[in-house]
Homo-oligomer: A and B are copies of this chain.
């Protein structure tokens, strides 16, 4: 009985993490299984001991990321102060986020996921739902916003990330991000 189950599970998670980072920043079609495996010090062949194919890895990596997301953590905590909002805005709408540090799939894969299989789209939709729920929960404590206003707010935040990533000029990006931080802050009762 070589290798402990723990070891395999750890390897699996390394692959998921690697895949998530690369898929979100480059998109499904621009990343090879080779690259994903190399990125976590493994090789192509090992892949198929863990996943059936590339498409399922994509879906699994989305689920994996959602399960580790800070957004869901926030939801569980009793939100007791406004630091959550500040963290959200400063983290999500930041140049660091745009450049790929802890990317959120909602903004990064908004177009990419459209052409994926139903499972992948479902994973994306669940993450989207989670984000809305988390912000709605916050808004309930601190604002008079109804859920429609939160839907629009979420679209703005995700849109800002998606658009920022298409732009080359950092000044333009910062202006966009700053505008959206400002608007979101106001809408959510101040930071």
**A contact set with B: CB distance below 8 Å:** 26-27, 29-30, 106, 108-115, 118, 121-122, 124-125, 128, 148-149, 151-160, 162-163, 165-169, 172, 175-176, 178-180, 182-184
Contact = CB atoms under 8 A, between A and B. Distances in A.
Contacts of A27: 111-112, 114-115
Contact of A110 (B121, B128, B157, B162): B162
Contact of A179 (B149, B165, B169, B172): B149
A161 to B, nearest CB: 8
A-B complex: 8 closest residue pairs judged by Cβ atoms: A159-B159, A111-B111, A156-B156, A148-B179, A155-B159, A152-B183, A110-B162, A151-B179
A109 B110 contact: no
A125 B170 CA distance: 13
A123 to B, nearest CB: 11
A158 to B, nearest CB: 5
27 contacts: A27-B115, A29-B29, A29-B30, A30-B115, A110-B162, A113-B166, A114-B165, A121-B168, A122-B168, A125-B166, A125-B167, A125-B168, A128-B167, A148-B175, A149-B183, A151-B175, A151-B176, A151-B179, A152-B179, A152-B180, A152-B184, A154-B163, A155-B163, A155-B176, A155-B180, A157-B159, A159-B159
A166 B178 CA distance: 26
A89 to B, nearest CB: 12
B29 A114 contact: no
A135 to B, nearest CB: 13
Contacts of A175: 148, 151
A85 to B, nearest CB: 16
Contacts of A159: 110, 154-160, 162-163
Nearest to A31: B115
Contacts of A184: 152
